[in-house]
Amino acid sequence: MKSKCCFCLVACRSLQYIAQLHLTTVFVATVSLGTSYRGRLPIHHACGKAAPEGVIDALLKASPKGAQSKDDQGRLALHHACRKNASERVVRTLLRVYPRASQIKDDQDKLPIHYACQNAASAHVVSLLLATYPESVHVHNGFGYTPLGEAKNAAESNPKMEGVLRLLEKTKREQDKLKAESGETAEVQLKISVLEEKVSLLDKALMKVAAIGKEMRHDIHKKHKEPQQVLEKFADRLVELGGSKGSSGKDRDSSGSREKDKDKDNTDKTPLKSRNATPIKNLFSRAQGKLTSLSAEKTKA
């Protein structure tokens, strides 16, 4: 009697192996036939029917690009595997062949992790999906649920989801922290960009000041203009230069009306006091002293 039971057990296992081998052969043979019902490849059917791991391995070996193909609902093989609670090994194999599958949504805007959480997948499977695409913890599907939301819905009828919930909540905290840190980094980068722009503008302004200085020297030595006229022209150019580099609206208004007030101020011997030239006060003083000395030298000559 005992020998008969052993024989029956061996026979059942043999038949199971033969059936699996036959199914694998059938699926592999149809790979070359292309898509079938609902635009699905054999790998879609295999994952959608929870086929054994050996079948999945054989199909991916025969056609690795099958893992990248979508059916008519926009689903990859990984979507179907997660819908049918495929084993950790199957999910790992699909991700190894096509890691980007974890980032692709179907026609319902669902990622594979949404299906995994919705159908009470194990914490190991969810961990694999999160490791490949941790940002998915914040992604909403077409029904407005994140993976954590789907997991909470599933946990109402399945207490085994507690481990998945803890994993998702931990990942969410980590991603929130990274998001906050990246926001601070972006703020610092913005400040650096503003400073770099200001340095560039200052460099250009200094080059223009140097050009104005050369013109000022030319007016003194070649055109023999009066020092006071040269100084007034120099002041006008500098104030104009300051207004063009982003001065306040008040400065721009004062520079815009300067030409109208010029005739009224011809008799003013200290025109610099009437202009907003505080940032370059020392420069004006040195220039005025230089011009006075040059004028004195010409008088002696």
pTM above 0.75, yes or no: no
Residues 6+ apart with CB under 8 A from 126: 113, 116, 117, 147, 151, 164, 167, 168
Contact by Cβ (8 Å): 142, 106 = no
Q: Which pLDDT tens digits describe the chain residue by residue (301 residues)?
A: 545 455 445 445 544 544 454 454 444 444 444 555 568 899 999 999 999 999 999 999 999 999 999 999 999 999 999 999 999 999 999 999 999 999 999 999 999 999 999 999 999 999 999 999 999 999 999 999 999 999 999 999 998 899 999 999 999 999 998 888 777 667 777 888 888 888 888 888 888 888 887 887 777 776 666 777 777 777 777 777 766 544 444 444 444 444 445 444 444 444 444 444 444 555 556 666 666 666 666 565 5
Number of H helices, E strands in the chain: 13, 0
CA distance 28 to 42: 8
Taking the domains of the chain in order of start, what are their residue ranges?
14-180, 225-300
Residue 19: CA count within 13 A, CB half-sphere? 8
Helix (H) or strand (E) holding 13: helix 2-30
The sign of the dihedral angle between the CA atoms of 285, 288, 294, 295 is: negative
What kind of fold does domain 14-180 have according to CATH?
A: 1.25.40
User: Does residue 51 sit in helix, strand or coil?
Assistant: coil
b vs e for 155-183, b when ≥16 Cβ sit within 10 Å of the residue's Cβ?
beeeeebeebbebbeebbeebeeeeeeee
SS3 string, 75-129, reads CCHHHHHHHCCCCHHHHHHHHHHCHHHHHCCCCCCCCHHHHHHHCCCCHHHHHHH
How far is residue 89's CA from residue 60's CA, in Å, rounded to a whole number?
13
